[in-house]
Amino acid sequence: MAKHSQNEVKDSLRDLTRIYRPENASKFVKDFIRKYRITSGYEPELTKLVEREMNLLQKSS
């Protein structure tokens, strides 16, 4: 993935995490990867991103 595209993916995933507030980060990322046809090698990085965003949402509530 190009750097610009990777940032777009991360931004989109952060936004979707804020909107849907998933219970299971890994399942959410797997569905995201499948739906938007992203290389599965990015799954651990994106999972950490979603977990971090979920922690921020819990702290702000």
Q: Residue 1: pLDDT band by 50, 70, 90 thresholds? A: very low
What is the tens place of the pLDDT at every residue in 28-56? 999 999 999 988 899 999 999 999 999 99
Residue range of the domain that includes 35: 3-60
pLDDT of residue 2: 46
For the chain, give the mean pLDDT. 90
Q: Which has the closest alpha carbon to 27: 59, 58, 60, 54?
A: 54
Structure tokens at 59: 């702290």
Q: Residue 61: pLDDT band by 50, 70, 90 thresholds? A: confident
Q: Which has the closest alpha carbon to 49: 5, 16, 19, 1?
A: 16
Name the residue type at position 34: R
Quote the number of domains for the chain: 1
Q: Please state the pTM of the whole predicted model.
A: 0.87
